[in-house]
């Protein structure tokens, strides 16, 4: 069952990237992150009351709470970097780098969680790493243009923080309801996001956001909430070294929708890279 939750997480995450890209087109990325987190938080706590897990909040240990807080802060940092990268770069380049956090997550799960390593896992890591390299290569027409590579830095930072999120979140939800754990950690994501907005004095820009941006920022928050709930439910029962790679299959719907709705096309090298990433992810499922 946890595999189905992991696949659900991948689908909603894939849709989120496209909705967010459209939503932040004319909006400050940090402000958009803070606004959409409000929706994610509301959705997360709604689900807590729907499943009736609020009563178990007393059973959360100090250790669980510590790791949920750290996971929330890591998530906030990852989001801020990710949406800034999306604003500066194209979806079909930013997303593969973000998904490369799979490799780092697996390494960390081997080191800190004691999850076993196997040959298929090593092969999958190599394929994902190679695929990511091909995906970020410039097309011929792009080589003629001089553009900032700042998006690349933000995308890699997003991947690093996403890896930390997976490990910290895995520890944080052990022994507690995953829905409640998700809601608690989202509180700290929200706090971090708004602290940054106020530090940068961007809160006044809210009144300048147009209706279209509001709509897509809101929808991206909703799909993020659904993705999270599926993801942490899968982490609760499954191995982090398997759940995370399945979640990263969100690159498939993301690339598909970026082609259909954002008109972003892939070069031959990028298609090879995409195939390698998907292949590497599927290899990881071999026991």
Structure confidence at residue 213 (pLDDT): 93
d(CA 37, CA 222): 9
Burial class (CB in 10 A: 0-12, 13-18, 19+), 172: buried
Structure confidence at residue 63 (pLDDT): 92
The half-sphere exposure of 268 on its side-chain side, counting CA atoms within 13 A, is 1
d(CA 127, CA 248): 13
Structure confidence at residue 142 (pLDDT): 54
Structure confidence at residue 283 (pLDDT): 86
Compute the CA torsion angle 113, 115, 121, 126 (nearest 10 deg).
Answer: 20
pTM: 0.77
Structure confidence at residue 193 (pLDDT): 92
d(CA 176, CA 25): 38
Mean pLDDT per block of 10 residues along the chain (287 residues) reads: 88 90 88 92 87 85 93 92 89 84 83 82 88 76 60 92 89 85 91 92 92 94 86 79 77 86 84 90 77
Q: Please work out, in degrees rounded to the nearest 5, the angle formed at the alpha carbon of residue 255 by the alpha carbons of 250 and 260.
A: 125
């Amino acid at each position: 069952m946890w595999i189905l939750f992991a696949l659900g997480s991948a689908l909603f995450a894939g849709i989120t990237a496209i909705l967010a890209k459209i939503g932040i087109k004319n909006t400050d990325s940090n402000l958009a992150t803070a606004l959409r987190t409000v929706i994610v938080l509301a959705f997360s706590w709604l689900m807590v009351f729907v499943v009736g897990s609020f009563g178990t909040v007393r059973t959360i240990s100090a250790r669980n709470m510590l790791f949920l807080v750290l996971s929330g802060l890591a998530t906030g940092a990852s989001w801020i970097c990710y949406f800034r990268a999306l604003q500066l770069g194209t979806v079909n380049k930013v997303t593969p780098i973000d998904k490369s956090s799979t490799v780092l997550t697996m390494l960390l799960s081997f080191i800190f969680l004691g999850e076993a390593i196997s040959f298929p896992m090593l092969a999958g890591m190599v394929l994902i790493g190679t695929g990511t390299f091909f995906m970020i290569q410039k097309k011929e027409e792009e080589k003629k243009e001089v553009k900032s590579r700042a998006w690349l830095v933000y995308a890699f930072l997003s991947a690093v923080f996403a890896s930390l999120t997976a490990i910290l979140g895995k520890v944080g939800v052990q022994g507690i309801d995953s829905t409640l754990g998700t809601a608690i950690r989202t509180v700290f994501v929200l706090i971090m996001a708004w602290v940054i907005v106020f530090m940068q004095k961007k809160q006044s820009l809210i009144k300048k956001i147009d209706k279209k941006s509001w709509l897509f920022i809101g929808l991206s928050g909703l799909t993020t909430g659904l993705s999270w709930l599926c993801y942490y439910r899968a982490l609760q029962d499954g191995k982090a070294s398997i759940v995370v790679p399945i979640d990263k299959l969100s690159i498939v719907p993301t690339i598909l929708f970026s082609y259909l709705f954002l008109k972003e096309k892939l070069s031959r090298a990028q298609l090879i890279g995409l195939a390698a990433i998907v292949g590497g992810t599927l290899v990881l499922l071999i026991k």
